[in-house]
Structure 1
Amino acid sequence: MVMQRADSSGSRNDTVGVKDEPTVQTRVPGRLDRLPWSRWHWRIVIGLGTVWILDGLEVTIVGNMASRLAEHGSGINITTAQVTTFAAAIYVAGACCGALFFGRMTDLHGRKKLFMITLAVYLSATALTSLSWTAWFFFVCRFFTGFGIGGEYAAINSAIDELIPARARGRVDLIINGSFWVGAAVGSLASIVLLNTAIFATDLGWRLAFAIGVVLGLVIVLVRRHVPESPRWLFTHGRAEEAERLVAEIEQEITDNTGVELEPVEESVTVRQRHSISFTEIARTVIREYPRRGILGLALFIGQAFLYNAVTFGYAVILTTFFKTPTGDTGYYFVVIAVGNFLGPLLLGRLFDTVGRKPMIAGTYILSGVLLFGTAFLFQRGVLDAVTMTACWTIVLFFASAGASSAYLTVSEIFPLETRALCIAFFYAVGTALGGITGPLLFNGLVSSGKTTDTTLAFCIGAGLMVAAGLVEAAIGVRAERRSLESIAQPLSAMAVPQTATGRQV
C-alpha cells in the first residue's frame, strides 16, 4: 500500500476542497475478491444474513395474528383492519425512516458499529411489542421495530457486498435476502401453535410470538460480534493501515483453513482518505452521474415493495374472506408460499452470476407479473379455492422473490462505495414508501371489501408494477456480474494516480 499527498491533477473531486488530504493506493478490493470460499465467508453470511429471518418472522406473525389480536380477551383493544392496514403501514414507515437515518450513519461511522446498533433497536422494540396493552402503544412499538429493521437493510447489504467475492456476490446476496422467507415460514408455523387456544390463552399466544424474535435476535448478536468492519470502508475513511492488517488476517485464516495458496494481486485503486463526505456531494453525484441507475433502482423497489408488502400483510385476509379458511389454519398456507419464495433465490441465484444480471432480473420481474395476471384472471372466474390460490401464488412468488432480492443487490452494486448504504436506504425508503405503504393500504382496502372484482384489481396493480420494473431493467439495467464493485461504480474518492507514484510504504 502506498500513501502520498494528493495534488490537483487527475482527480474527479478537485472541486470539493480536499486537495491536501492524503491518498492511499491499495489492493484490498482485489485481495477480497480473489479469496476462495471458506468458513470465514460462512461466518459473514450467518452473522449478517440471518436478520432477514427476523424481518420475515415479524411481518408474517403480525399478518397471521391480526384476527387474534382483534378478538375479545386478547388484552388489547384493536381491530383487524388496524393491524393489517394501519399497523402494517406504520411498520413500513418506521423501516423507511430507519433506513434513511441509519444509512447515513453507516456511511459515516462504519458498517459494524451500525449493524450492532440497529439490531439492538429491533430487539428492544419487538420485546416491548409483546407487552402492548393498548393500540397506540402497539403502533409505537411497530414503528420502532421497523426503524431498526430498516437500518439493518442499509448496514447489512453494504457489508455483505463489500466482503463477499465478486464471482459469488449475486447468488449470496439473493439467497441472504431470500432468507426473509425462512423467517416467514417459522412465523407461520409458530402462529399455528400460538393461535391454538387449547394451548395458549387468547391474551398470551400473540405475546409469545413476538418473544420468538427477541430470542433469535440475541443468538444473532453472539454470532455478529465476530464479523469484522468492511476493509473497503476502512481504507476510504483514514484507516488504511487497519484495513491492510484486517485483510492480512483474513487471508491468513482462509489459507490455514483451506490450504489454498493465494495468488498475488496486481490491480490497485488509489483514493483520497476522507473521514466524511457531505450529503450534498453524495446527492449531486448520484443525480448528475447516475440518473439512469436512479430510475432503475426506484422501478425495481416500487414494484417489489407493493407486491410483497401487500401479500405478506394481506394474504391471510384473502383466505379468511373469500375461502372461509379458519383463522388458525392460515399459517399452513403461508408456509407453502414461504417455501416457494425461498426456493426462488436459492435455485435461481447462481444464474444471476452466470447468465447475467439484466436477463435474470428482467426475466423474473416480467414472468412473475405475467403469472400474477393469470392468477387474477382465474380468481375473477371463481375457479380457485384456498389450495389452488396458494399454489398459484407460490409459483408467482418463486420468480418474484428472486427478482425482489435482486433489487437490493442492484442498488448496493451500482453506486459508489461512499454512498452505498445511503443509496440502499434511499431507494428502499422511497420505493417502500410508494409501494410498501400504499400497497397494504390499497391492497387490504380492496380485499376487505369482500368483492371479487376489487381483489382482482389489487392483483393486477401488483402485476403491472412488476412487469413495468422488468421492462425498465431490460432497457437500462447494469451488467454487474462477476465485476468488482469499484469497476461498476468508481469510489467518489478515487484518483487517477499513476501506479509508479512514489510515497511512504506501510
Structure 2
Amino acid sequence: MAVTPDTQTRLSNSVDAQLDRMPVGRVHRKVIVAIGLGLFFDIYEVFLSGSISTALGVQFKITGTTLSLLLASAFIGMFVGASVLGGLADRFGRRKAFLFNLIWYSAWSLIAAFSPTAWFLIVARFLAGVGVGAEYPVADAYLSDVLPKDKRGRLASWAYTCSFIAVPIVGFLALWLNSANPGGIPGWRYMLGLGGVGALVVLFLRRGLPESPRWLARVGRNDEAVAALRVFADGAGVAVEPVTGGEGQDPAPQTTRAPRLTQQPYAKRMVMLVVFHLFQGWGYYGFGTLSSLVLVANGQSVTQSLLYTAISFLGYPVGSVLAVPLMRYERKYLLIGSILAMALFGILFATSSLPVLIVVFGFLTTAISNVFSNVYHVYQAEIFPTTLRATAVGRTYSLSRLSSAALPFILLPVLTAFGAPVMFSLVAFVLLIITGFVIGIGPKTSYRSVVEINPE
C-alpha cells in the first residue's frame, strides 16, 4: 500500500523517528558516561575473581572445588540478576532498574570486603553478582532505545569503552595490592571495598538520567514520553515536533509480552542468542579469569603471571576504542570476524613460551575480545522490539554468566590434565559453533532503525 503524505508526516513525527534523527547532544553524552561508568563495575566484578584467586587460595587455604566455587559464585549471581532483573526493566522502566542494581551491588560488595571465611565470601560474592548481573541487559536496551540509528553502534562503543577501563585497573591493582597489603589488610579486601564505594558514586550520576522515551511510548505513558523526548532534544539544541502517533506510540499499554518471543522472527533470534551466550563466555571470560593460571601452569611464577596478565589486559580498553570506527561496518559480519580472530589469538597465546610473545598474543586476544564484546552488546539489543528488549537480552545474556560460572569446573581440569593448548583448542571449537549460528540466523542491523529491524 502506498504511503500517503499524511501518513508519512505522522510516521516522521513519532517518538521513534524523532529519536532516530536527533543530533547528538549534551544528554546523549551524559548517558554514554553514566552508563559506561555503571558497566565499569560489571567488568570489574568479572575480572576481579581471576585476579584475586591466588591470594584467596593462600589466605583461606582452599583448593579444588571450593576455589572453583569461589571463582564461580559471582557469575552464578550474575546469571540470576540478568535473567530476573533484566525483565523488570521492561516492566518498570530502565531508570528504576539502573538505580536498584547499583544500590544492591554496592551494599553486598562492601559486605564481601569484610568476609571472615571463604564461605561467607562465596555467599556475598553471589549476592553482589545478582545486583551487577542486570547491568548489561538493561544498559544495552537503554542505549538502543535512545541513541540515533546512524550513530547507535559508535556511541554505544564509547559507553562500553568506559567500562573496560576496569580491566587493566583490576590487573594492576591486583599486582600492587597482592604484595603491598597496606595497613596489614589483605589487598583483595581493598579491591572489593573499592568496587562498592565506586558504585555509590556512579549511582548519584545516574539519578539525573531521563527514562527511555521509546519505552514510555510503548507502555502508553505518552505525555511522559514526550517530556523525556524533550530532555534529549533540549540537550541537542533542537525542538520537539508535535508527536502524532505512528510507529513510536501505542494508544494503551501492551499486555502481550514474553509470549511474542516464541513467534517469528524473534523465536529464531532467541535460539541464536541462547547458543551464542552458552558458549561466547568460553572465549571472552575464559581468557580473563584463567589467563594467570594458564601462565602458572606453563611454568611462569605467580608474580610474572600477574605482570604479563596485567599488561595483556591493556588490550581490553584499546580494543573497545578500536571498535568505535569499526562500527560503521555491518555488525553481523564484524561479529563473525571477531569471533574467528579471538579463537586464533587465544591458541597462539596458549602455545607461546617467550615473554614477548605471551604479552603480544595476550594483548591481541584481549583487544579483539573487546571488539567482539562491543559488537555483540549493540547487536543483541537491536534485534528485539522495545517492550521485549531487556527481557530477551536478560534471559539469553544470563546464560553467558551461567556458562562462565561452569568454566572453572570444566576448563581447570582440562588445563591440569592436558595443558593450555588443549584447553584453548576446546575454546576455539565452541567459538566456531556460535559462528555458524550467527551466519545462519543473524539479521543485518547497521544504519537501520530498531523499528525497521523489529516488526511489531
Give TM-score, length-normalised by structure 1. 0.81
Counterpart for residue 67 of structure 1: 54
Question: Is contact 2:46–2:75 with CA below 8 Å preserved after alignment?
Answer: no
Task: Report the Cα offset of residue 265 of structure 1.
Answer: 9.1
Alignment partners' CA distance in 1, 2:15 and 2:138: 20
Query: 1:195 aligns to what SS in structure 2?
Result: helix
Task: Show CA shifts across 1:300-341 (max 9, x none).
Answer: 3233211222222211212223233234x5443233222212
Q: 1:27 aligns with which of 7, 10, 14?
A: 14
Task: Show CA shifts across 1:7-66 (max 9, x none).
Answer: xxxxxxxxxxxxxxxxx9961111112122222211101111212221222233332222
Alignment partners' CA distance in 2, 1:115 and 1:70: 33
Counterpart for residue 337 of structure 1: 312
Counterpart for residue 79 of structure 1: 62
Alignment partners' CA distance in 2, 1:287 and 1:150: 27
Question: Is contact 2:222–2:249 with CA below 8 Å preserved after alignment?
Answer: no
1:227/1:198 CA distance change after superposition, 3 Å: closer
Structure 1 or 2, whichever has the larger Rg, is: 1
Moved more, 281-290 or 118-127: 281-290
Q: Does 1:311 align with 2:287?
A: yes
Counterpart for residue 191 of structure 1: 174
Task: Show CA shifts across 1:225-272 (max 9, x none).
Answer: 1111101111122210111122123212321xxxx6889999941643
Which one-letter code corresponds to 1:411 in the other structure? Answer: Q
Moved more, 234-243 or 385-394: 385-394
Counterpart for residue 217 of structure 1: 199
Counterpart for residue 384 of structure 1: 353
Task: Report the Cα offset of residue 481 of structure 1.
Answer: 0.7
Alignment partners' CA distance in 1, 2:252 and 2:64: 49
Q: 1:443 aligns with which of 403, 408, 411?
A: 411
Task: Report the Cα offset of residue 287 of structure 1.
Answer: 4.4
Counterpart for residue 37 of structure 2: 50
Q: Does 1:172 align with 2:152?
A: no
Query: 2:313 aligns to what SS in structure 1?
Result: helix
Which one-letter code corresponds to 1:441 in the other structure? Answer: F
Unaligned runs of at least 5 residues, structure 1: 1-23, 492-506
Alignment partners' CA distance in 2, 1:322 and 1:454: 8
Alignment partners' CA distance in 1, 2:43 and 2:27: 25
Q: 1:277 aligns with which of 255, 259, 264?
A: 255
Query: 1:228 aligns to what SS in structure 2?
Result: coil
1:51/1:441 CA distance change after superposition, 3 Å: farther
Task: Report the Cα offset of residue 187 of structure 1.
Answer: 1.1
Q: Does 1:140 align with 2:123?
A: yes
Task: Report the Cα offset of residue 84 of structure 1.
Answer: 5.1
Task: Show CA shifts across 1:320-372 (max 9, x none).
Answer: 23233234x544323322221222231133222x2211221111112222333
1:467/1:200 CA distance change after superposition, 3 Å: farther
Task: Report the Cα offset of residue 289 of structure 1.
Answer: 3.5
Counterpart for residue 9 of structure 1: none
Task: Show CA shifts across 1:436-481 (max 9, x none).
Answer: 123232122223x2x5x33222101111222332233233321111
Query: 1:114 aligns to what SS in structure 2?
Result: helix
Q: 1:159 aligns with which of 142, 145, 161?
A: 142
Counterpart for residue 369 of structure 1: 343
1:161/1:139 CA distance change after superposition, 3 Å: same
Alignment partners' CA distance in 2, 1:214 and 1:253: 31
Question: Is contact 2:14–2:247 with CA below 8 Å preserved after alignment?
Answer: yes
Query: 1:207 aligns to what SS in structure 2?
Result: helix
Question: Is contact 2:25–2:232 with CA below 8 Å preserved after alignment?
Answer: no
1:171/1:83 CA distance change after superposition, 3 Å: farther
User: More helix by proportion, 1 or 2?
Assistant: 2
Task: Show CA shifts across 1:69-128 (max 9, x none).
Answer: 222xx4xx3515457521222211111111111112111100001110011111011111
Alignment partners' CA distance in 2, 1:307 and 1:276: 38
Task: Show CA shifts across 1:189-245 (max 9, x none).
Answer: 1112211247452x4322111111122212211210111110111112221011112
1:335/1:424 CA distance change after superposition, 3 Å: same
Counterpart for residue 499 of structure 1: none
Give TM-score, length-normalised by structure 2. 0.90
Which one-letter code corresponds to 1:247 in the other structure? Answer: L
Counterpart for residue 96 of structure 2: 113
Task: Report the Cα offset of residue 183 of structure 1.
Answer: 0.5
Question: Is contact 2:28–2:232 with CA below 8 Å preserved after alignment?
Answer: no
Question: Is contact 1:35–1:262 with CA below 8 Å preserved after alignment?
Answer: no
Which one-letter code corresponds to 1:446 in the other structure? Answer: V
Q: Does 1:346 align with 2:328?
A: no
1:335/1:52 CA distance change after superposition, 3 Å: farther
Q: Does 1:399 align with 2:381?
A: no
Question: Is contact 2:13–2:244 with CA below 8 Å preserved after alignment?
Answer: no
Question: Is contact 1:106–1:114 with CA below 8 Å preserved after alignment?
Answer: yes
Query: 1:132 aligns to what SS in structure 2?
Result: coil
Structure 1 residue ranges (4+ consecutive) displaced by more than 6 angstroms after TM superposition: 260-267
Query: 1:481 aligns to what SS in structure 2?
Result: coil
Counterpart for residue 422 of structure 1: 391
Q: Does 1:324 align with 2:300?
A: yes
Question: Is contact 2:15–2:248 with CA below 8 Å preserved after alignment?
Answer: no
Which one-letter code corresponds to 1:338 in the other structure? Answer: F
Question: Is contact 1:302–1:465 with CA below 8 Å preserved after alignment?
Answer: no
Which one-letter code corresponds to 2:204 in the other structure? Answer: L
Question: Is contact 2:343–2:427 with CA below 8 Å preserved after alignment?
Answer: yes
Task: Report the Cα offset of residue 174 of structure 1.
Answer: 3.2
Query: 1:272 aligns to what SS in structure 2?
Result: coil
Task: Show CA shifts across 1:106-152 (max 9, x none).
Answer: 11100001110011111011111101011221111111111011121
1:235/1:321 CA distance change after superposition, 3 Å: same
Query: 2:165 aligns to what SS in structure 1?
Result: helix
Task: Report the Cα offset of residue 386 of structure 1.
Answer: 4.3
1:404/1:168 CA distance change after superposition, 3 Å: same
Which one-letter code corresponds to 1:442 in the other structure? Answer: I
Unaligned runs of at least 5 residues, structure 2: 1-10
Question: Is contact 1:84–1:313 with CA below 8 Å preserved after alignment?
Answer: no
Alignment partners' CA distance in 1, 2:284 and 2:156: 18
Alignment partners' CA distance in 1, 2:37 and 2:65: 29
Corresponding pairs, count: 446
- Identical amino acids, percent of aligned pairs: 22
Counterpart for residue 470 of structure 1: 435
Q: Does 1:240 align with 2:222?
A: yes
Coordinate RMSD, CA, aligned: 2.6
Counterpart for residue 410 of structure 1: 379
Counterpart for residue 39 of structure 1: 26
